[in-house]
Chains A and B, each alone.
Chain A
């Protein structure tokens, strides 16, 4: 299991143990974390599962593929170096302790 902490748009912290193989998006959806919409269900098609990863984590995550990179090029509220699509973050032991912040708005 890996513990992932979500900070929702109201500032509330949700600490959730996730099975390796799930995505960070699925962990939020299954546990009713507000603010992660994930309309496309994880197909990297909509950008409504955008999160900011906490400092020090960006380099420890699986690298972005070109689709995710291009989506984030133009998604609103993106902060280079901190923004990821949580449907593309597959949970592994290496992600134990990851903290992500959910933005105020998804588009």
Chain B
């Protein structure tokens, strides 16, 4: 038995390997990672870790001893050069490793600002790996002038950390509003006001024309002609799925590596999971960039490698931390036609409920876990509350959720 090789050593790879062992899979399991750290959590990189509130070893998903004890081989700092689907081998330069099953858990890479507009100057960062933060954190000093390019969650989280550390922060978003790709106007408005109240200068509908400086970034020219003096740039302009190896091996790719409901790619014995994989979901190919997706899709693939024949059908959820606000999102809001705002029971807590006609699609909850949990349960059960009930804060959320089946748990 050659066993399972996983290309990637992140959240999905770690979850997959652990699930195989928990399920009794006995053949070799090898994770091949480009980075030198054992599998670690990425979400804190743009939050507590950048803020300096979390030690490095606490990022690790499991202690290194776990892998040794579970018989999971970690090959770290090891770039895969080629996949040979016919011979069922993975090549690392001169070395070739055979596999029974190969899982592509290659993740995604951040889009970078083009070198032609100064994206290769020193002082320009993206936030994806531990190494990015190690290089950036020492430069996050009070009074430094930071330009954040991109008003998505990564850019907003970085702006929040920077303000906490005392930097001067300007954020530019070339779309008409921040969070335009992922959230409704109501949520964009709420987060704009939050960041403005913390002293971030937010400029929407304005792009970056170019960065200036000799070797290190010193200034920025915006699309409206504004010139800024800056010391640092963080680009949060999205990620691209890492599908290069798959593509070169002739495996079908679209927006990511295409898989079927069970996680199989177009090549026999080769699977994909996590940020890199596009899977069929409610009539379309969906690719999610989230911890939940990495874990659950990877666990589903692990089960299917062991013959479960299970389809992956997630109920997506996400979270973000900015200042003292926890945003929790249940569902996907794309395609909504109206949004209902519901004040929460605590001061400052509020939720936005996305509907398409009578159907609930998603909930954005700001410091309002009750709304998040209620919305998540309703979405999982395929039930939609009346928009009028949601809009009425005197209606109890618990009453709006059907009473859950009692667990008869003896303890």
Chain A residue nearest to B320 (CB atoms) is A45
Which 10 residue pairs across A and B have the least CB separation, nearest first?
A: A74-B373, A45-B319, A70-B369, A71-B369, A41-B41, A70-B370, A77-B407, A30-B63, A73-B370, A101-B411
A12 at the interface (CB under 8 A from B): no
Let me know if A39 and B370 touch, CB within 8 A.
Answer: no
Let me know if A67 and B18 touch, CB within 8 A.
Answer: no
Q: Mark B58-101, 1 if CB is under 8 A from A, else 0.
A: 10011100100010000000000000000000000000000000
B377 at the interface (CB under 8 A from A): yes
Chain B residue nearest to A73 (CB atoms) is B370
Interface residues of B in 382-409 (CB under 8 A from A): 397-398, 401, 404, 407, 409
- Residues of A within 8 Å of B43, CB to CB, are 40-41, 43
Let me know if A74 and B346 touch, CB within 8 A.
Answer: no
Interface residues of A in 26-49 (CB under 8 A from B): 26, 29-30, 32, 34, 37, 39-41, 43-47
- Residues of A within 8 Å of B61, CB to CB, are 29, 41
- Residues of B within 8 Å of A77, CB to CB, are 407, 409
Let me know if B321 and A74 touch, CB within 8 A.
Answer: no
CB < 8 Å neighbour of B401 from A32, A40, A46, A74: A74
Given contacts A67-B326, A75-B373, contact A34 B22 (CB under 8 A): yes
Let me know if B291 and A41 touch, CB within 8 A.
Answer: yes
Additional A-B contact list (18), CB under 8 Å, known A39-B291, A43-B47: A26-B58, A30-B62, A30-B66, A34-B22, A40-B43, A41-B41, A41-B43, A41-B61, A41-B291, A43-B326, A46-B319, A52-B411, A70-B369, A70-B373, A74-B374, A74-B397, A104-B409, A107-B380
- Residues of A within 8 Å of B346, CB to CB, are 66, 70
Let me know if A40 and B319 touch, CB within 8 A.
Answer: yes
| Residues of A contacting B: mostly | loop
CB distance from B64 to the nearest CB of A (A): 11
B328 at the interface (CB under 8 A from A): yes
A76 at the interface (CB under 8 A from B): yes
* Interface residue total, chain B, C-beta cutoff 8 A: 36
- Residues of B within 8 Å of A101, CB to CB, are 411
A46 to B154, CA, bound (A): 19
Let me know if A76 and B70 touch, CB within 8 A.
Answer: no
* Interface residue total, chain A, C-beta cutoff 8 A: 29
Chain B residue nearest to A66 (CB atoms) is B346
Given contacts A29-B62, A44-B326, contact A74 B319 (CB under 8 A): no
B317 at the interface (CB under 8 A from A): yes
Let me know if B409 and A74 touch, CB within 8 A.
Answer: no
Let me know if B22 and A76 touch, CB within 8 A.
Answer: no
CB < 8 Å neighbour of A39 from B47, B292, B369, B373: B292
- Residues of A within 8 Å of B58, CB to CB, are 26
A47 to B346, CA, bound (A): 19
- Residues of B within 8 Å of A73, CB to CB, are 369-370, 373, 398
Q: Mark A62-90, 1 if CB is under 8 A from B, else 0.
A: 00001100110111110000000000000
Let me know if A32 and B70 touch, CB within 8 A.
Answer: yes
Given contacts A41-B291, A52-B411, A104-B407, contact A74 B377 (CB under 8 A): yes
A104 to B70, CA, bound (A): 23
- Residues of B within 8 Å of A32, CB to CB, are 18, 62, 66, 70
CB < 8 Å neighbour of B44 from A41, A70, A75: A41
B242 at the interface (CB under 8 A from A): no
Given contacts A29-B62, A30-B62, contact A43 B319 (CB under 8 A): yes
A32 to B370, CA, bound (A): 30
List 21 interface pairs A-B (beta carbons < 8 Å), by A numbering. A29-B61, A29-B62, A32-B70, A40-B43, A40-B291, A40-B319, A43-B47, A43-B319, A44-B326, A45-B328, A46-B319, A52-B411, A70-B368, A70-B369, A71-B369, A73-B373, A73-B398, A74-B369, A74-B401, A77-B409, A105-B407
B295 at the interface (CB under 8 A from A): yes
- Residues of B within 8 Å of A52, CB to CB, are 411
CB < 8 Å neighbour of B370 from A30, A44, A74, A76: A74
A81 to B126, CA, bound (A): 44
A104 to B404, CA, bound (A): 15
Chain A residue nearest to B62 (CB atoms) is A30
- Most A-side CB within 10 Å, residue of B62, B398, B401: B62
- Residues of A within 8 Å of B292, CB to CB, are 39, 46
